[in-house]
Amino acid sequence: MARYYHFEMPAVKWYNQSPFMAMAADMTGRQSTVALLEKLGVVAVIRLRDAAKLRAVVDALAAGGVRALEVTMTVPGAVTLMRELSTTLPVGVLLGAGTVTDAATAYAVIDAGARFVVSPVFRPEVLRACHERDVAAIPGCFSPTEILNAHEAGADIVKVFPATMLGPQFLKDVRAPLPHVRLMPTGGVTPANAGDWIRAGAIAVGIGSALVDGAAVERGDWAAITDRARVAMASVESARAH
């Protein structure tokens, strides 16, 4: 672990030189958060068995250019960890919470510093809690009906989940009649195929274990996570450039 912290400081400096710094500094509410999420393009979905490794994972992602972090409630002590993390993150990094399925948890993660709240399902009470605090709400939906219902209820972005069995063509087909709905697929998205989802119409992608690899975390191979983050960002940037 001591060897790792020599790696952390360049990542923080790199962030502070980021062209996104001014945008982050101007954020005042959920609309600005949504705009920045779209700009960043990749949301790292973080699930860990060992909570003590969260900071190491965050800094490894930072070094690879992934600046939107979704700390899921499956991480032991997630709310406390988020509170600690939120006070030390570099400018330009967005901290969010995932696997939020009730209003009480939504309030707790927002109080801990979450700028966006993600759920695997659509729960109107979670959406209302987020908007009460002017925080972006991203409910999970699977069917076109669910997607439209969530959008009409005020969802800032709709998480298409699980996208594993759907593929980018599903997203493209949904976007044809619903071009105004912001979609973020999660599940089945990898660093290599992230660009395919962007080309299909996603405003951003959520990447879990394909980015934050459990085996790499276990052995402390932070460079491997950084490499995956770079691949994901390059895939998204390439898709947007064409």
Count Cα atoms within 13 angstroms, Cβ side, for 145: 0
Q: Which of 159, 172, 218, 237 is catalytic?
A: 159
Chain centroid offset of residue 18 CA? 18
**Helix, strand, coil percentages, rounded to 5, for the chain:** 50, 15, 40
- Coil/strand/helix, residue 151: helix
Chain centroid offset of residue 113 CA? 14
Give CA–CA dist 216/31, Å, rounded. Answer: 35
Residues paired with 93 in a beta bridge = none
Strand 140-141, strand 68-72: pairing: unpaired
Q: Which of 13, 39, 53, 70 is catalytic?
A: 70
Residue 70 among the catalytic residues: yes
**CB 212, CB 57: distance < 8 Å:** yes
Residue 218 among the catalytic residues: no
Instruction: Say if residue 152 is exposed, middle or buried (CB neighbours under 10 Å; 0-12, 13-18, 19+).
Output: exposed
Catalytic residues: 70, 159
